[in-house]
Each structure stands twice: as structure tokens, then as C-alpha cells.
Structure 1
Amino acid sequence: ASDMVWEFYSTADQIDVNPGAVNQMIFVAHNPTDKPMSAQAIPSITPAEAAAYFHKTECFCFTQQVLQPGERIEMPVRFIVDRDLPKDVKHLTLAYTLFDITARHPPVAHLTGQDLQGAR
């Protein structure tokens, strides 16, 4: 989203998909700020008629993501494309919009051992 400051990208521009098999893409997120942030990813598939044949089995979009200041993570997406995908569909595009939800769902900063001793 336009107000999201995280770096967010896939590690590959495209992959060859095997219909009926489990396929995987890796996405990377980096919080360049000095504060913990929460985010939610919303997926989209094009062409729209192909969405019914695309099934995510694991996705970072299923949950909110929390990144600490400077943290970078790799997030896998595992999916299956139905063998019944119409023959005229030769390319699918999986896209995500990443929204900053920090104001609505404030993250908790990681505490160090020293922080915990001071909290006692």
C-alpha cells in the first residue's frame, strides 16, 4: 500500500508451475524503521477466472506479520494449481498488497535479557 514503508518483494520474478503439485515462492519483508510494526498482506490472482484454481496451503497472508526494527524475514507461499486450470490460461500473477496495521494492532517489542532484569 502507498503508506507502507517496508521493503517487500519476491525472490524470483517468475517460476514454472507444475499443476497438481505443491509449488513455492519466497517473499522477503524488511522493516527499515526504528520501531516494531505490524502488517497484513492481501493477495490477488490474475486473470480473475484462474483464482478458483489456485489454492494456497501456506501463506504469510493468513496471519499478521510483526517485524522488529531493522528485521528482515523470508516468508514462503506454498500453493497448488489445479490440473483443471483452463488450457487457455498460460500465465498466473500472484500479487500482494501489504498494509501497515500498526495503529490498529500494535506489536510488542522483543525484550532482551537485560530488559527483563530491569523489569523485575
Structure 2
Amino acid sequence: MASAISPTGAVLAGRHGAGTLSLAAADPAGHAALATNWTAHERACADVGRDADRTGMCLAYPPEGFGATSERLVDGRIDPAALVTGEAGLGGLDAAFASLRRPEEHIEVLIRPGLAGAGVSAV
């Protein structure tokens, strides 16, 4: 269910077991509403006996934002290394995706094909 700033879409998604799509995540007001909307989604899920699942939450950003982000990466205003919180080899793909479903564990996991093991290592 899609929403912009009001939690209506997040509440309906919780009631019906659907994912959420925040269309205004790049807007300051929309970004500020994300936590409130997620809390409303969690309450709606609980009201019908469901667990809220962040893997079903998507944020939409306008294409022009990607260009600005690329420029910041190129000129050094954003350090991409600071975004990588773990690394895994090909044998750790399942563990990497599982850890990314738990945002308290990792933000980005870098996949290094030559890295041995089946887990995710902190960076």
C-alpha cells in the first residue's frame, strides 16, 4: 500500500498483510513521517495478530536524487566505506540477505566472491 505523509497507507498495509511504499521519502516532511508511519503500521499489524516485517517496506526516491548522490560520492562528501557494515563471500549470500532483514545488524553487506565462509563478517 502506498502512502506519502499520512499513515493511511501504512495502516491499511498492516491490516491486510501488504507491504508499504513511501512515495515521499525524499521530501523532508515525508522523511520526517517515516517513523510515525512505521509505528502506525506496527500497531495495525498487532491489531490483527500479524508481525510487522520491514522487508516489505520500500522507499521511493525521485531519479534526480541518484545523480546528486553520485556526485557526492565522486567528490568525497559521502564516504561509501562508512555505509558498509559487513562483508561476505558467495557462500555467505544467504546469511547476508538474512542479516539485511534485521536493520539493527547491517546497513550494507559487501559481497567479495573470493572470501571464504558462509557467514557475514563485521567490517
Q: Report the TM-score, using the length of structure 2 for normalisation.
A: 0.25
Q: Which has the higher contact order (CA 8 A, sep 6+)?
A: 1
**Greater strand share, 1 or 2?**
1
Q: Report the TM-score, using the length of structure 1 for normalisation.
A: 0.26
**Greater helix share, 1 or 2?**
2
